[in-house]
Structure formats: structure tokens, C-alpha cells
Amino acid sequence: MQNQTSKEVQCHLCNFRGPSLLDHLPLKHEISAEEYLVQFKGSPTISLEFSRKLEEFRKNSHKAERPRPKFHVGNIPFEIHLGVPEKDCLPLPEHYMFPTRGKLLKDITHASISLASGRSLYISGISGSGKDAFIHALSHYTRRPTELFQITPNSDISSWLYSRAFDEKGTRWEEGRLLTCVRDGYTNPMGQVIPYLILLSDLDRADKSQIEILRLILDSIQGRIKGPKGETYPILPGTQIVATANTTGGGDNRGQYISANPLDSSIISRFHAGFEFHWLDWEDEKLILEKKFPTLIEKVPHILEEMEVIVESLRAAIMEEELFCDFSHRDLCSWLQHAEDYLIHKGLPKKLLRITQRAWIDRLPDQETKIKAKRIIDPKIKGGSV
């Protein structure tokens, strides 16, 4: 009698035939497959078909777990927290794009390496270099829960940690948002706890009365934070703090950021790393401008070519300290926005850029700076339709 086929195998203790004897033997004969093989050495206990399916199952069960989706910044991968709603992250700045070339790409790559490694950062840079926007975009695309704390001089930031509350029973201590964020983390709708990313914006604007409070906050980088009664709380592992500032902590030495204050070196040294951000490369900046001002580009196709020369000349003079002011992406957009508005309401003049430059020029701090800026701009403005 045939003991095995491709789909069935026969039991030698009875007339049972089936794909497998592994369940049949203990249920029907109260013996294991090993005991059965002692009596009937070499006899098959599973069919060829069942053996094939079992092997396929084993291979599939050992396959690596499906990798989690990643978002890359400067070729640095960041985990995407799919369970975190968009509303619990920082909003994406309008028309924002990560740099693809130039100094700012290198700056952001270094910052991304540190952030992906779990470090806390001090990011400095001239106005309009995208310091806060970078953290906003990173939070948005990776769904990293992030809380923004804006530092304003002469404001009470102690409430970020704790404050006195009053009710019918008297006074009590009430924990602040920053304390609960760094201690407890964020719990997503599925019950998973995710460490927060904390953004301290304009850290170098902190006044003397705020510095000591900031010292307590920045102690969280070391894994602890103090409560109102002097008690110490452990920080949720993985919590990160990023501070942004226009200066590197030495105060304003160019007259551009008069609200910037010198920072104690013990404040700066609490961060794992510090990086300086630069302006966008023009090729990247141009792509953003094309999205922001479609009507202007359509009516005056060559305006960005002319603007490129002006931008490079102004920023070179600023970096060489020949011109004491800013010409950030925001300043550039103010000029071009007025040019587009002028075009819509008044039509196209012969020298659109010369007429509308005052949207930026008139905001400069003094007459001398205005004259210097005009002397740089005027030779770069061509005649013709623009």
C-alpha cells in the first residue's frame, strides 16, 4: 500500500489518510510524532504538498519587518510618526522648500545629522536664512510633535515651567506647558508616547531676568528639570531642544539686531552643537519666487534675471560690511510683492524695479544707508520694459 502521495500521507496505526499526521497522532492514538517514528522509522508524517506549504510559511515568517517610512533632509533619514496628526506639529511655511545647493544645503545637512542623532542645537544666522522655517518644515513632514516658545524681552517666561494659580481653596502651583512637554512627552491617539521637539525662537533676545529661567529650561538637555518646590523631574529620553537666534551669543556687533543680547557661555555650552545658517542659493530662491509671484513673472519674464544681479550685489556689500542692513528673502519678497501690486493697479512702467524699490529702501534705518543701497541698486537696473 502506498504510504505517501503528493497531497496525502497514511497512518500505519489505522487507515487514516490526510495531508498531515501531526494532529492526528496525539488526538487519535495519544502519541507524539517522535514516538510514532520510533515504531515506524523513516515513515512520512506529512505530505509533500503540506511540506512545501510549511516551508513557504517558515520563510515568510522570518522575513524582515517592513521598514518604516522615512523622510530625507540633505540625504539624512528621519522617521515619520504616522500616528501623529498634522495639527500637533508645526505648520509648514508657505512655499517652503528645502535647499538643494549652496551653503544653506551644507548648513541644513549638518543640522539634520545632529537632529537625527538625538542632539539639541543652537542655530544662528542672518534674518531670512530659514532657521525657524527649517524646524517647522521638519516637524510637518516627519510628524514630529513640536512646541514653539517665542522669547520676547520683558515677558514672564517662568510660566512656561510653573505659575501660581488661585481658586476657592487658596493658591497652588500650576505646571506650565514646557515642563509637561519635556517630562511627559506627547501621547498619540494610539497611546504611544513620543518625545517632543522644543523650539526656542530668538534665544538671543532674552533679557537678564529671563536668563536664569532659561538656564533651568536648558538643564533639560542634561536629562532633568526643576519643579516649583525645587524637586527634580527626569526628562523623557529623546526630547530635543533647538534654539534659533540671529547672533552666536556675543551680542549684535553690526547694528542690525539691536534687541539681541550677549548670552552667557554657560547657556550656549548646554547645547550639543551649534550651526550658522546662510542665505538660500539664488537658484533655489528663484524657484520659490516663481511660485510666489506668478503674475509678475508672466508679465515681466526677465525680471528675476535682473533681480539676481541686484540681490548678489546687495548681499555682497552686506557681508563685506559696506552696507549695514539686511536684505533677506522677506525683504526681497516685499520688493517684488509691491512690484506685482504696482503692475496690477498701475500697469507696466518702463522701469518697474526702480519705481518699486522704495518698498524696501524706505524701511532702512537712516538716510546714509538708503543712499548707499541706492548707489548699489541703480547701476544694476536696466532700461527697457523693466
Mind listing the pLDDT tens digit for each residue in 198-211?
999 999 888 888 88
pLDDT for residue 1:
38
pLDDT for residue 266:
82
Output the nine-digit C-alpha cell for 231.
524637586
Average model confidence (pLDDT) across the chain? 87
Q: Picking from 30-34, 120-124, 324-328, which range would have the lowest pLDDT averaged per residue?
A: 30-34
Range with top average pLDDT, 156-170, 214-228, 298-312? 298-312
- Tell me the per-residue pLDDT of 258-313, one tens digit each, with 9 for 90 and over: 567 778 888 888 899 999 999 999 999 999 999 999 999 999 999 999 999 999 99
Cα 14–18–22 angle (5° rounding)? 80
Spatial distance between the Cα atoms of 13 and 38, rounded to a whole number of angstroms: 13
- Chain centroid to CA 269: 22
Strands 193-194, 186-187: pairing is: antiparallel
What is the DSSP-derived secondary structure letter of residue 29?
Answer: I
Q: Where are the domains of the chain?
A: 9-61, 70-277, 282-380
pLDDT for residue 368:
95
Q: Please say if the pLDDT value at position 58 is more than 80.
A: no
Query: So what CATH class is 70-277?
Result: alpha beta
Beta strands in the chain (DSSP E): 9-10, 17-18, 70-73, 76-79, 121-125, 146-150, 162-167, 170-175, 186-187, 193-194, 197-201, 224-226, 232-234, 240-245, 273-277
pLDDT for residue 99:
95
- State the pTM of this model: 0.78
Q: Please say if the pLDDT value at position 257 is more than 70.
A: no
pLDDT for residue 311:
96
- What percentage of residues in the chain have a pLDDT greater than 90? 54
Q: How many Cβ atoms from other residues are within 10 Å of residue 90's Cβ?
A: 21
Spatial distance between the Cα atoms of 109 and 285, rounded to a whole number of angstroms: 18
pLDDT for residue 251:
60
**Residue 129, exposed/middle/buried by CB under 10 A (0-12, 13-18, 19+)?**
buried
pLDDT for residue 384:
39
pLDDT for residue 226:
82
Spatial distance between the Cα atoms of 354 and 361, rounded to a whole number of angstroms: 11
Q: Picking from 61-70, 277-286, 318-327, which range would have the lowest pLDDT averaged per residue?
A: 61-70
3-class DSSP assignment, residue 221: helix
Strands 70-73, 76-79: pairing is: antiparallel
Spatial distance between the Cα atoms of 149 and 158, rounded to a whole number of angstroms: 12
8 Å CB contact between 152 and 205:
yes
3-class DSSP assignment, residue 20: strand
How large is the average pLDDT for residues 135-148?
Answer: 96
pLDDT for residue 340:
96
Which band of pLDDT confidence, cut at 50, 70 and 90, is reported for residue 92?
Answer: very high
pLDDT for residue 386:
38
Residue tagged 510549511 (cell numbers): 54
Cα 289–290–296 angle (5° rounding)? 95
8 Å CB contact between 2 and 10:
yes
What DSSP element (H or E) covers 334? helix 329-346
Spatial distance between the Cα atoms of 332 and 340, rounded to a whole number of angstroms: 12
How large is the average pLDDT for residues 95-110?
Answer: 95
Output the nine-digit C-alpha cell for 247.
547672533
**Residue among 292, 322, 285, 291 at smallest CA distance from 307:** 285
3-class DSSP assignment, residue 121: strand
Spatial distance between the Cα atoms of 377 and 318, rounded to a whole number of angstroms: 13
Spatial distance between the Cα atoms of 124 and 201, rounded to a whole number of angstroms: 10
| Single-letter amino acid code for the residue at 118 | G
How large is the average pLDDT for residues 152-180?
Answer: 86
What DSSP element (H or E) covers 291? helix 282-292
Q: How many Cβ atoms from other residues are within 10 Å of residue 351's Cβ?
A: 14
